[in-house]
Amino acid sequence: MTEMVYGAIPVRDVEPVLPKWWRTIDKWSVSCVLILFGIGILLGFAASPPLAEKNGFAPFHYVQRQTFFGGLAMLVMLFTSMMSPQLVRRLAVIGFLAAFAALVMLPVLGTDFGKGAVRWYSLGFASVQPSEFLKPGFVVVAAWLMAASREIGGPPGMTWSFLLAIVLVALLAMQPDFGQASLLLFSWGVMYFVAGAPILLLLGMAGCVIMVGSFAYANSEHFARRIDGFLNPDLDPTTQLGFATDAIREGGFFGVGVGEGTVKWSLPDAHTDFIIAVAAEEYGLVLVLAIIALYAIVVVRALSRLMRERDPFIRLAGAGLAASFGVQAMINMGVAVRLLPAKGMTLPFVSYGGSSLIAGGIALGMLFAFTRTRPQGEIGDILRARGR
């Protein structure tokens, strides 16, 4: 009787979270990330025992830690990818504020672990690098500001995001951590370009970056030492770059054989910054090309999905996260083959490192959440409709 008077109550057909996630997620990209993590564990068995022996640990101490942190990173990635873009944005803002506060307090409470750059908090059982968690949060916050500036009566988000990027770059350069600073600035530049910035403005900014780099070279011994080492045509074979170059050359096409490599006994960072040298020596160019292809698949598929996205915030944030992921891998491998100056940057999901693994899981989880298939008309349909 009630239904006859007031009408029937509509019943919403709500699809369960896991089936909906499985149907909308980019399975190829998720599979590539899992394969990269598996390759990292495989290379860890080769690269980390010498360091464990040197530090008095069991042979596979670092492999066990990488498995633990990597497994946690995979869970975080999958859990984050199930969130809605709105929830990702809210949590990213909170995470960014926490990471920013931690970055500001580094000069007071941080440590350098004897590496000359104060980048970490020592927790005794582990260490935390705030800049790793700052990157994905900054990308989302900057994308939010840029997208808001395109709304009628919106804030000057382009200017605010630029000022925020400059502040963060300055804080990172003070550590000094020019690698993370350049990566953060590049991510912002990609989003600014996608948002419709004129090419002349971007060229002007590139000129400013060159000027700042010249100033840093003249006033920072740490920065100048790395640039001089990169430009010096005579490579010292006893340096990390020298060992890495020799290992890559020795590996050839198919490598010297599993466990037969020697560079892991000479490189102190063979399990982190120069893990690609271990891969090239023991498994050869074949594995290196496979690793490059896996990174390329994730980036290209993410960008192809974002090209069909209507929401400007999702499009900008996804482009920034994809660019950050791909360029970090490119920088790490470029340093190993001496195409770029030494940066101290890990290879995502392959190198050892708790902070980089978990932060990478958060960043890729956000990217997968933004690139999930959603019921919407493609942006091309809108453009064609406007042209009629």
The pLDDT value recorded for residue 2 is 46
The per-residue DSSP string of 25-62 comes to S-HHHHHHHHHHHHHHHHHHHHHSHHHHHHTT--TTHH
Per-residue CA distances from 150 to 143, 145, 164, 192, 321 (Å): 11, 9, 18, 12, 20
Prediction pTM value:
0.87
- Give a three-class secondary structure readout of 311-361: CHHHHHHHHHHHHHHHHHHHHHHHHHCCCCCCCCCCCCCCCCCHHHHHHHH
Question: What residue segments make up the domains of the chain, in order of their start?
Answer: 32-371
Question: What's the mean pLDDT when you consider all of the chain?
Answer: 83
The pLDDT value recorded for residue 348 is 93
Average the pLDDT over 144-149 and give the result: 92
Average the pLDDT over 42-69 and give the result: 86
Retrieve residue 166's tokens. 């400059």
Which residue shows structure tokens 């990566």?
Answer: 183
pLDDT category at 386 given cuts 50, 70, 90 is low
The pLDDT value recorded for residue 8 is 46
Q: Is the pLDDT of residue 341 over 90?
A: no
Cβ pair 157, 149 in contact under 8 A: yes
Q: Is the pLDDT of residue 378 over 80?
A: no
The pLDDT value recorded for residue 145 is 94
The per-residue pLDDT for range 237-282, each reduced to its tens digit, is 667 777 777 788 888 888 888 777 777 777 777 788 888 888 888 8
> Shortest CA distance to 280 belongs to which of 309, 236, 235, 249?
249
Retrieve residue 289's tokens. 């090309």
Return the amino acid letter for 211.
M
